[in-house]
Chains A and B, each alone.
Chain A
Amino acid sequence: MNGLKSFINWLASPAIAVTLSMLSLVGAMFYKPIWTKKGGLVLFATLVGGFAFSFTDPNFRIVATMPDNVPILGMLFLVGFFFWYAMYQAHLNDARLSVGLPPLEKDDSDKKVFSWPDLVYVELVSLIICSIVLIVWSIVLKAPLEEPANPGAAPNPAKAPWYFLGLQELLVYFDPWMAGVVLPTLIIVGLMAIPYIDTNPRGNGYFSFRERKWEIVMFCFGFIILWVVLIILGTFLRGPNWNFFGPYEYWDPNKLVPLNNVSVSEIFWVKWLKTALPTFWLKRELPGILLVLFYLGALPGLLGKTLFRRFYEKMGMVRFFVGVNLFLIMFAVPIKMYLRWIFNLKYIVNIQEFSFNI
C-alpha cells in the first residue's frame, strides 16, 4: 500500500504528471473504445475508484476537503464527463459520416418545434435542478472565511483563486510580465482568433472528431492540459512554500527542495566556453536572443515550407502566420517547463538591465 502510494506521489510530480497527461490525452483522443458508453463507464469507475482509494489517506483528505477545493472536485468530474460526452457524440456521428449518412443532429435540424413548450420546459427543469443543487450545496458547505486580513504575514501557501491557479503555476516558470500579462493576453487573443484562423468549413453545428481532428486536439490541449491540469496541480499538489507535494504526502512546511536555476547565458558562456559572462548585455544574452528570434521569427516560415505546408496552402499567408505564432507560443509554455525540469533553466533571455527576462 505504501509502495503504491509513493509510486503515485512520484507519478504526480509536475514533470511526470504533465508528460503523462499530455500523452494520455492525445493518445486517448485517437483511441476509439474510450468514447463509447462502456469506455465512459470504465473511465468514470476509475475516477471514482481513485478518489475512494485516495480518501482513505488522511493527507489527501485534508487537502481535498478544504471548502474552496470542493468546487474543483466538481469541476474535475464535470469537465471529465462533458469531455467524454462530446467525444462520444462525435464518434457516433463519425461512424455515420464514414458511411455517408448525415450527422445525428441533421434529422432534427430540419424540423422546427414550438419554443413553448419544448424549449421553455427544458429550461425550467434545468433551472429548478440548478437551484436545488445550489441550495443544498450552500446548506451543507459553509463558505470559508479565514483570519482577518493581515498585510504583515502571508499564509503559507498563498494561493490565487482556484480558476487562476494554472496561471499561478506558470509563474514558477515565467517572469510575472510573461505569466501575468503577456500569456493571459495571448490566451484571450488566441481564443478570439479561433473563428478567423480556422477555415475548415466542416463540422459546423454538430459533434464530430474526424472532420476537425487538428482543431479539436489543439483546443483540448490548451483547455485540458494547460488550463485544467495545471489548476489541479496548483490546487492539490502545491503546498507550503509552493513546494510540490504528492497527493498522499504530508504538507510539511519545512520540506527542503533545492532549486538552483541557471540561465542560457550562463550555460553558454560559463559552462560551454569556459569564460566569464560578458559585461555588455547584448553580447551576454545574444545566444538566448537568437534562440527566441529563431523560434518566433524563423520557425514559422520553416514550418510553412515543410511540416505545415498543407496548412500554409489552405489557410493563406496571414492566417497561417498568426495561427502558427499562437501555436508556437502555446507550446512555448510546456517547452519552458521541460527546460526547467531537465536543465534547471531559469531564463532564456535574462536582461536584468531592462527587467526583460524570458
Chain B
Amino acid sequence: MTETGSAGVAVAENAAAAPTRRSFVNWLAVGWLAFAAGVGAFVTTMARFLFPNVLFEPPSSFKAGYPADYQVGEVDERWKEKYQIWVVRNTEMIYALITVCTHLGCIPNWLPAQNKFKCPCHGSGYYRSGINFEGPTPRPLERAAISISPDDGQIFIDKARKFLYEKGQWTDPAAFIKTT
C-alpha cells in the first residue's frame, strides 16, 4: 500500500485487517491454478472414461485344422467370415493373411481369375502374398502369427500378433509354417 496523505492512516489500518494486494494476487493465482488443475483433471477422467478396460469382442486366436487340409497353391477362404483370415499355402510354406484392407479396413475379395485380392471400398489390390500393387492403400496386408500346436498338430492362428512386411517381419519364424 503506497497511498499517502491524510487518508494514509485509515488505509494502513484497513490493510492490517485485510490481506495486502500482493498476497491477494498470490492467492488469486493459486486459486486459478487450482481451478485449472481441477478442470484439467476432470477433463482427463472424462477422456479416460471413453476407453474401456475390458472388451467383449470375438476371440482372436483359433485352431484351423491340419496342414494337409490346405491345397498347395490355394487361397483358402474357409475362415474368412468367422475369423477374418485367409490361409494361403504355397510350395514352401503356409501363412495367414488378415483379411482387413490396410487402407480403411474393408474386407477385400479374392479374385482367383486375376490372382489378386481386390478391395470393394476404394479399389486397393494385393498380390496373393499380401503385397499391395494398386489402389490407394499405403502398405501390404498384415499376416497373423501361425504355428503348429504342439498338443494335437493342428494349425494355431493368433490374430493378436501381427507381422508387417514393411517392418521386415514376414521372415519371423512365427509368421509362417514351413512345409518343405
A interface, CB within 8 angstroms of B: 150-158, 168, 171-176, 180, 240-243, 254, 256-261, 352, 355, 357
Contacts and interface: CB of A to CB of B under 8 A. Distances in A.
Contacts, number: 71
A171 B81 contact: no
A242 B122 contact: yes
A178 B112 CA distance: 33
Interface stretch (B9-17, B47-55, B134-142, B148-156): B134-142
B120 A152 contact: no
Main secondary structure of the interface of B (DSSP, over half): loop
Nearest to A347: B138
Given A152-B80, A152-B82, A154-B106, A259 B134 contact: yes
A274 B153 CA distance: 51
Given A171-B103, A242-B122, A352-B139, 6 more contacts: A154-B106, A158-B120, A174-B136, A175-B136, A176-B104, A352-B138
Q: Main secondary structure on chain A at its contact with chain B?
A: loop
B83 to A, nearest CB: 8
Given A152-B81, A152-B84, A357-B138, A157 B121 contact: yes
B130 interface: no
A176 B118 CA distance: 18
A265 to B, nearest CB: 14
B138 A175 contact: yes
Contacts of B118: 241
Most buried by B among A157, A173, A241, A260: A241
Nearest to B133: A260
B119 interface: yes
22 contacts: A151-B84, A154-B106, A155-B120, A156-B109, A156-B120, A158-B106, A158-B121, A171-B103, A171-B122, A171-B136, A172-B122, A175-B138, A241-B109, A241-B120, A241-B123, A254-B111, A254-B113, A256-B114, A257-B123, A259-B134, A259-B135, A352-B139
B123 A172 contact: yes
B177 interface: no
Given A254-B111, A352-B138, A150 B81 contact: yes
Nearest to A150: B81
A78 B166 CA distance: 48
Interface string B146-176: 0000000000000000000010000000000
A63 to B, nearest CB: 16
Contacts of A171: 103-104, 122, 136
A299 to B, nearest CB: 26
Given A152-B81, A156-B109, A352-B139, A260 B134 contact: yes
Interface in B92-126: 99, 103-104, 106-107, 109, 111, 113-114, 118-123, 125
B95 to A, nearest CB: 19
8 closest A-B pairs by beta carbon, nearest first, are: A156-B120, A152-B81, A242-B123, A259-B134, A154-B107, A154-B106, A158-B121, A242-B122
A153 B136 contact: no
A59 B135 CA distance: 25
A243 B122 CA distance: 8
Contacts of A153: 80-81, 107
